[in-house]
């Protein structure tokens, strides 16, 4: 549920499936049912990531850079994994290592 909360709060763009973050609550059974179904998919090893949507972001020099946008479901799974794994790996990081570390 915390992963869903973070993904919804981020208000990211929809992925290839077109689903927006606010649609999780509108699913039959609401957010709790959606999370239960996703959990079952993961436990049964039936979960498969979706294709990544490609978007082009303008750069300051007039060029564009590619950006990959995962689906909401994929972002929830990625966030949940980060919430579980980050505390485990955090203790092994050097104190001056900053990449991808919150509040660093």
Residue 14 has a pLDDT of 94
Q: Do the domain assignments include residue 65?
A: yes
Q: Do the domain assignments include residue 81?
A: yes
Q: Do the domain assignments include residue 103?
A: no
The predicted-structure confidence for 70-86, as pLDDT tens digits, reads as follows 999 999 999 999 999 98
The predicted-structure confidence for 29-73, as pLDDT tens digits, reads as follows 899 999 999 999 999 999 999 999 999 999 999 999 999 999 999
Number of domains in the chain: 1
> What is the spatial distance between Cα 5 and Cα 79, in angstroms, rounded to a whole number?
10
The answer to whether 37 and 30 are in contact (CB under 8 A) is: no
Q: Do the domain assignments include residue 104?
A: no
β-pair partners for 23:
none
Residue 94 has a pLDDT of 73
Domain residues for the domain of 38 are 2-90
Q: Do the domain assignments include residue 34?
A: yes
Unique residue bearing structure tokens 């485990």: 88
Q: Do the domain assignments include residue 49?
A: yes
Statement: residue 102 has pLDDT above 80: no
Confidence band (pLDDT; 50, 70, 90) for 101?
low
């Amino acid at each position: 549920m915390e992963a869903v909360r973070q993904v919804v709060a981020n208000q990211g763009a929809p992925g290839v499936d077109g689903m927006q973050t606010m649609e999780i609550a509108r699913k039959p059974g609401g957010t709790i049912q959606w999370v239960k179904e996703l959990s079952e998919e993961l436990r049964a090893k039936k979960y498969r990531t979706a294709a990544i949507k490609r978007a082009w972001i303008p750069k300051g020099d007039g060029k564009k850079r590619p950006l990959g946008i995962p689906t909401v479901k994929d972002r929830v799974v990625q966030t949940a994994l980060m919430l579980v794994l980050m505390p485990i790996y955090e203790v092994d990081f050097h104190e001056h290592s900053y990449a991808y570390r919150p509040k660093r």
